[in-house]
Amino acid sequence: MSLVNPVFVDEVKRSGEFNANACMNCGVCSAVCPMGIELLPRKLFRYVLLGLQDKVLENRETVYSCLLCGMCEANCPAGVNIAENVRSLRYYMNKKVFKI
Amino acid sequence: MPLPIGDTIGILADNLRMRKSVLPVSAKGAAAWAKGLGLPRGGETVIYTGLMYQMIPYIAAMNKVQGMIEDSRLANFVGLGRYINRAVNISAFMAVPPKGTRQSFNRVLVNIALLLKQAGLEFGCLYEDDLYSGALIYDLGMDDVLADHARKVYGALKKHGVRNVITVDPHTTHMVRSVYPDLIKGYDLNVKSYLEVLAERDIDPRAGLSGEVAVHDSCVYARYENMLNQPRTLLAKAGIAVREPADTGRFTLCCGGPAESLFPKKAAARARARVEQMKEAAPRGVTMCPICYVNLQKAAGDRMIIEDISSYLVRAYCK
């Protein structure tokens, strides 16, 4: 059972560049990730879109493990701004979780 | 226990906010590379280092300490460290790189300046006003801290009458060419990497080189800045056989360096995987980013010789 925060996506979204909803869940990003992060980015973005805030917060190490190398983005058939989306998640966590 | 993410980022952000750099590189130390080159202070065109090469020895020293702290009980004290760091710059005590390492990274900058002179370019440098671009803070999502810092960097460049900026590494290039324009209203600087400048000027080699090298593209140059051909053109013109490892060009495999500040062990594993790919392509490797350079060199040990591209280019193109 998970608690849903219906405005979570709006809290994470900082600009028009946050386009996680363009993801069609094909899994190419997970397949090519050099860090082998299965969760990132597609599942993590889905949690954001569904408002599953707790799920995202319990995976904070994953969010910061991303190299922002852009390999996933170069291969993404849906044109998702993956690196910028990950940075948005980091910005959110820095503010809301770490209070930096 | 892994390094506490929030406190580690907090220390880096505090350092940038209070000391204009994420790590303790003094302004004088950062400008030491330019000594004796006779570069004018400022001017319309400048070489802007963004301190990446100067900072790498400190990052390497810091990562050694972080590697010891990671997964140990000491990780519990990083929070306290952040508190103390606001009053006393603790990273200055933790990261003291050997002089020889600092000199070897300064040598890269000297090489680049010599190459630009050889290409007939008239340029100055900012000396003590050459500030860190904030690339790591950008990657970590500290955008508010970055925006304040970006204005300081832009102010320093404008103070010296700069219109054209020549960068020396991919991260700084990306920051001042693609990120800053969104942060600073009226941003009006022309930015080019020195590799772009050299390729455009079509300079001729003074001495032919031989041998083959595996090219490791920087993720940032290849995917964010679409810079792929210039390093290959310059190496090939110098007589070097350019070999492509698996996962090359736009699909280059990351060296793992960006994970160094938070997850040193994961970063090392990535670097080892990349070195294996490069070894299969050629006995020597070439990088064009200080982070790739230090990370891959460390992973390669004595199994493969990895050099910054400027070392090859200066041997070929300078007198």
Establish if A62 belongs to a structural domain: yes
From B2, B10, B251, residue closest to A100, measured CB to CB: B10
Contact yes or no for B273 and A89 at CB 8 A: no
What pLDDT is stored for residue A92 in this prediction?
93
Span B156-215, pLDDT tens digits: 999 999 999 999 999 999 999 999 999 999 999 999 999 999 999 999 999 989 999 999
Q: What is the pLDDT of residue B77?
A: 64
**A88 neighbourhood in chain B, CB within 8 Å:** 141
Mean pLDDT in residue range B145-166? 96
Range B288-295 average pLDDT = 95
Predicted confidence at residue B259, as pLDDT, reads 82
Report if residue A13 sits inside a domain.
no
pLDDT tens per residue, range B238-273: 999 999 999 999 999 999 988 876 777 888 899 999
Q: State the average pLDDT for chain A.
A: 89
Main-chain dihedrals φ then ψ at residue B256, nearest 5 degrees: 90, -10
Cβ atoms of B200 and B229 closer than 8 Å: no
Provide the pLDDT for residue A85.
Answer: 93
Instruction: Report pLDDT for A2.
Output: 78
Checking if the pLDDT of B82 tops 70, the result is: no
* Contact call for A64 and B250, based on CB within 8 A: no
Residues of B in contact with A98 (CB under 8 A): 5-7, 9-10
The pLDDT tens digits for A28-81 are 999 999 888 777 778 899 999 999 999 999 888 889 889 999 999 999 999 999
Q: Is residue A57 part of a domain?
A: yes
* Domain span holding position A52: 26-96
Residue A3's pLDDT is 85
Of B81-95, B182-196, B209-223, B285-299, the range with the lowest mean pLDDT is: B81-95
Query: Which pairing describes strands B124-125 and B45-48: parallel, antiparallel, or unpaired?
Result: parallel
What is the number of H-type helices and E-type strands within chain B?
Answer: 16, 8
Residue A80 domain flag: yes
Cα distance between residue B249 and residue B269, in whole Å: 21
Q: What pLDDT score was predicted for residue B228?
A: 97
Give a yes or no: residue A4 inside a domain.
Answer: no
pLDDT band, very low/low/confident/very high, at A86 (cuts 50, 70, 90): very high
Contact A68/B at CB under 8 A: yes
Q: Which pLDDT value is given to residue B21? A: 78
| Residue A50: inside a domain | yes
Q: Between B225 and B93, where is the model more confident?
A: B225
Residue from the list B9, B250, B258 with its beta carbon closest to the beta carbon of A67:
B258
Strand ranges inside B99-211, DSSP E: 124-125, 164-167, 190-193
pLDDT of B43 strictly over 80: yes
| Integer Cα distance of B68 and B51 in angstroms | 26
The HSE-up count of residue B35 (CA atoms within 13 Å, CB side) is 9
B250 touches chain A (CB under 8 A): yes
Whether pLDDT at B7 is above 90: no
Q: What's the mean pLDDT when you consider all of chain B? A: 90
Which chain B residues touch A92 with a CB distance below 8 Å?
141
Which one of A34, A69, A94 has the shortest CB-CB distance to B142? A94
Q: How confident is the model at residue B12 (pLDDT cuts 50, 70, 90)?
A: confident
Q: Cβ of B223 and A70 within 8 Å?
A: yes
Chain A hits for B147, CB-CB cut-off 8 Å, are none
Contact A70 B140 (CB under 8 A): no
Find the residue in B nearest to A75 (Cα). Answer: B251
Decide if B125 touches A, using CB distance below 8 A.
no
Q: Do B256 and A61 touch (CB under 8 A)?
A: no
Give the pLDDT confidence score for residue B258 in this predicted structure: 85
pLDDT at B73: 66
Domain count for chain A? 1
Domains of chain B: 5-198 (no CATH), 205-317 (3.40.50.1860)
Examine residue A16 and state whether it is found in any structural domain, yes or no: no
Checking if the pLDDT of B1 tops 60, the result is: no
